[in-house]
Amino acid sequence: QSALTQPASVSGSPGQSLTISCSGTSNDVGGYNYLSWYQQHPGKAPKLLIYNVSNRPPGISNRFSGSKSGNTASLTISGLQAEDEADYICSSYTNNDILVFGGGTKLTVL
Amino acid sequence: QVQLVQSGSELKRPGASVKISCKTSGYSFREYAMNWVRQAPGQGLEWMGWINTNTGKPTYAQGFTGRFVFSLDTSVSTAYLQISTLETEDTATYYCAREGSPNSFDPWGQGTLVTVSS
């Protein structure tokens, strides 16, 4: 099973909104709503931001939102802040009963 | 609060074995599956598989069969990952992660760096 496809990097200025995409197939992203997003700061463990496409765990800012259209999921970060600079990784359940991650997107806050 | 605390970094020679622990607290250990994820230096996350903390049955992802073993000690709410016959390619940070909602991981352990070098 191939990894999900994410842009290698994105950047934005404080206060802006930006969207990170996560592309898969009908065997993973498009076929199930078990789509999660994680934030990982350098040297730290990943942190769950979004699960089941668009649900936020308790304590996660509503600046983070998720959506899906067909085989592509998206994470939108609004009101960009310096602390948002990190790697963002998507994951999806697949029809092979396994879980796959995206390659990760490095977000730079300008 | 829910916590997963992993054992410390390891430096091993090729061919050796290593056993990483993931001690949990703050929740009922048997109610949530435990997953393991590998991250090689500078690379992305790789799902290794999971263990049913109620039955002890492990499920391994492709590429993690044979030398990798997931186990539990429910008496101390701890999960383990053992890797045998270590190879230099096994150098990575290994994370345990509780499966809170199906196929989503929250929280994660802090990670255990395993370095395999002669």
Q: Is B24 helix (H, G, I), strand (E, B) or coil?
A: strand
The reply to whether residue A98 touches residue B45, judged by beta carbons under 8 angstroms, is no
CA distance B52 to A97: 15
Cβ of A60 under 8 Å from any chain B Cβ?
Answer: no
Q: What value does the mean pLDDT take over residues A75-89?
A: 98
At B5-62, the pLDDT tens digits run: 999 999 999 999 999 999 999 999 999 999 999 999 999 999 999 999 999 999 999 9
Average of per-residue pLDDT values in chain A: 96
The reply to whether residue B47 touches residue A98, judged by beta carbons under 8 angstroms, is yes
At A42-52, the pLDDT tens digits run: 999 999 999 99
* Contacting residues of A for B92, CB less than 8 Å apart: none
For B87, which DSSP code? -
Cβ of B27 under 8 Å from any chain A Cβ?
Answer: no
Helix (H) or strand (E) holding A55: none
Per-residue pLDDT for B65 more than 80? Answer: yes
Helix (H) or strand (E) holding B57: none
Question: A29, A48, A64: which to substitute to probe chain B, counting the most B Cβ within 10 Å?
Answer: A48
CA distance A6 to A64: 17
The residues, ordered by sequence, that sit 6+ positions from B24 with a Cβ below 8 Å of its Cβ are B2, B3, B4, B5, B34, B77, B78, B79, B98
**Shortest Cα distance from A24 to chain B (angstroms)?**
16
CB B6 within 8 A of CB B96: yes
CA distance B94 to B10: 11
Torsion sign (Cα): B37, B6, A34, A97: positive
Tokens of B86: 């270590």
Q: Is A41 helix (H, G, I), strand (E, B) or coil?
A: coil
Place of tokens 């049913």: B52
| Spatial CA neighbour of A50 closest among A1, A108, A94, A102 | A102
The residues, ordered by sequence, that sit 6+ positions from A79 with a Cβ below 8 Å of its Cβ are A15, A17, A63
* Contacting residues of B for A88, CB less than 8 Å apart: none
Tokens of B8: 């410390």
Q: What value does the mean pLDDT take over residues A61-67?
A: 98
CA distance A88 to A86: 6
Confidence class for position A84, pLDDT limits 50, 70, 90: very high
Cβ of B40 under 8 Å from any chain A Cβ?
Answer: no
CB A2 within 8 A of CB A96: no
